[in-house]
Amino acid sequence: MESGLRLASGLRLADRYRLVERLGDGGAMEVWRAVDELLDRPVAVKLPAPGGPPRAFQEGVNRAAGLSHAALETVFDSDVTRDASGRLIPYLVTEFLDGETLADRLRRGRLTAPEAASVCGRTAAALAAAHAAGVTHGDLRPGKIMLLGDGVRLVDTGIGGIVRGAPAEVPPAADIRALGAVLAACLPPGTAGELPALAARCLSEDGPSARQVADALTPDDAPLHRVRAGLPATAAPRRTIVLPPPAEPGPRHRRGLRVAAGLLAAAVPAAVAAVLAAAPRAPVAVVPPVRSGALPPATATGRPPAAAPAEPAEPAGTRVRGALGRLRPIVSRGHAAGQIRSDVALDLTNVITNLENDLTADRDVDVGRRIALLHDKIATRRRENALSPGVADELNRVLATIAA
């Protein structure tokens, strides 16, 4: 084992996650590229540095696992293992993101204004989903924003601050100030107009919410493949950023605000330098069945009306998503009744969510294989007595409707 590492390449965790290689500096975490041998997919395994608070880390992981947003990193699993010295350590398994961090991209130069608005708008949308669920990031910086071919991912939400020793309860306003610093760091020097003003507003004490920032920045997205490659952005329509005005200060505060405005002008470059150095899912609509065998009503002439055009067949993706949407409540009820072990409930929920996300994103998915793997997982957990026979049968009946 390399000096300073808590785990070694080739180690298998939970009899399924095989560590392949240590990734670049994960800051206060040890991060590995691994292979989920059960589902045959790449994953990332993360564990806190020695001396970190394991209980706080696990609580942060539990909060992050309940989040769902296209720009948030997906949590697959979590457990504990022993390091080389025999000490118990928690670890987290997430999706493997093949891209580069915003910090790496900024080392090659600043973004254009449309690119900065696109990246920070998507990041703000991810923060808004997390804040709505009562979860904050706690360590937002360019190194925590991944640029991918198909979008942006905000990583380590819920645990970012914990692994760096920040208080467990970081207020949302701290994330907003960090977002303002990131936006300012992305903009070219001398940029004028609404974006620098928005960055300054985020850095102020009466900053907007993450949702307000997202709504202001997301209308005009820049092509993210150009952001990642450092290519010139295509022309984008001029945006108009509208945010609610801050509360009108009383007379006794106006002089203080004039002083603060001067300090803020100096604070933005300082924040940029520091940065550079360093939901509930929407319900799935299920198409109601069409009753057959009923005769059409007669018209005034006594003849039945002309036949209506045949209803189009229900798309396979809709049927699958409908079935997946019925699985999640079964898992939740089973867990609440003590009929599903906690780690199994989390694992099943993640499998269901991942397949839903793939179908929603219109990715090329081998649905039959994924459903077969889910059947096998249910059977295995039933044999291990981690899943009651009644819940297993109920899950399998829903899965059978997909192949019907």
CATH code of the domain in which 75 resides: 3.30.200.20
Q: What is the 8-class DSSP label of residue 186?
A: H
Identify whether 122 is part of a domain. Answer: yes
Distance CA 35, CA 51 (A): 27
Specify whether the CB–CB gap between 272 and 181 falls below 8 A.
Answer: yes
Statement to judge: residues 75 and 108 lie in one domain? no
117 and 197 in a single domain? The answer is: yes
Provide the token pair at 362.
């219109």
- Domain end (from 74, 95, 116): 95
| CA–CA dist 183, 171 (Å, integer) | 19
Look at residue 395 in the predicted model and tell me its pLDDT: 92
The CA-CA-CA angle for residues 400, 403, 404, to 5°, reads 85
**In terms of domains, do 194 and 208 share one?**
yes
Q: What angle do CA 291, 294, 296 make, to 5 degrees?
A: 120
- 20 SS3 class: strand
Write down the pLDDT at residue 5.
Answer: 60
* Within a domain: 139: yes
Asked if 118 and 88 sit in the same domain, the reply is no
**Structural domain boundaries enclosing 62:** 11-95
Helices (H) and strands (E) in the chain, counts: 13, 9
The distance of Cα 290 from the centroid of its chain, to the nearest Å, equals 37
**For position 286, what pLDDT does the model report?**
34
From residue 49, how far is each of 31, 54, 110, 120, 325 by CA, in Å? 10, 10, 31, 29, 38
Do 69 and 120 have their domain in common? no
CA distances from 103 to 18, 134, 140, 221, 319 (A): 28, 27, 12, 20, 42
Backbone φ and ψ of 5, nearest 5°: -90, 145
Q: What does the DSSP assignment read for 77-119?
A: EEEEEE-TTS-EEEEEEEE---SEEHHHHHTT-PPPHHHHHHH
Q: Quick one: 163 and 184 in the same domain?
A: yes
Residue 305 lies inside a defined structural domain of this protein: no
- The answer to the question of residue 133 being in a domain is yes
CA 126/CA 172 separation, integer angstroms = 13
Other CB atoms within 10 Å distance of the CB of residue 272: 22
> How high is the pLDDT of residue 252?
44
Give dist(CA 347, CA 152) in Å, integer.
Answer: 24
Residue type, 210: A
Both structure tokens of 132: 């709505």
Helix, strand or coil for residue 17?
strand
Nearest of 226, 218, 274 to residue 112 by alpha carbon: 226
Question: What's the number of domains the chain is made of?
Answer: 3
> How would you label 32-68 residue by residue, b for 16+ Cβ within 10 Å and e otherwise?
bbbbbeebeeebbbbbbbeebeeebbbebbebbbbbb
Strand order, beta sheet including 100-101: 100-101, 145-148, 151-154
Task: Tell me, yes or no, whether 225 lies in a domain.
Answer: no
pLDDT, position 241: 54
Amino acid letter at 223? P
328 plus 362 within the same structural domain: yes
133 and 38 in one domain?
no
> Do 78 and 16 sit in the same domain of this protein?
yes
109 and 31, same domain (yes or no): no
pLDDT per residue of the chain (404 residues) written in tens, 0 to 9: 444 566 788 889 988 999 999 986 556 788 999 999 999 999 999 988 776 667 888 888 888 888 989 999 999 999 888 876 778 888 999 999 999 999 999 999 999 999 999 999 999 999 999 999 999 998 999 999 999 987 899 999 988 878 777 665 688 999 999 999 999 999 998 888 899 999 999 999 889 999 999 999 975 445 555 565 555 554 444 454 555 555 555 554 444 444 344 444 444 455 555 554 543 333 333 333 333 444 444 444 444 455 444 444 445 667 787 888 888 788 878 877 889 887 787 778 778 877 877 777 677 778 888 888 888 889 988 998 888 999 999 999 988 887 65
Q: Helix axis angle, 389-403 relative to 316-336, nearest 10°? A: 170
Q: Do 128 and 49 fall within a single domain?
A: no
Cβ proximity of 130 and 137 under 8 Å: yes
The rounded distance, in Å, linking the Cα atoms of 93 and 88 is: 16
Kindly state whether residue 298 falls inside one of the protein's structural domains: no
Domain edge (last residue) among 217, 248, 267:
217
Q: CATH number for the domain including 120?
A: 1.10.510.10
Which pLDDT does position 72 carry in this prediction?
95
For residue 200, CA distances in Å to 204, 220, 341 come to: 6, 21, 48
Of 198, 217, 236, the domain-final residue:
217
- With respect to residue 234, please indicate whether it lies within any of the assigned structural domains: no
Say which DSSP state 231 is in.
P
143 and 211 assigned to the same domain: yes
In a domain, 251, yes or no: no
The pTM of this model reads 0.60
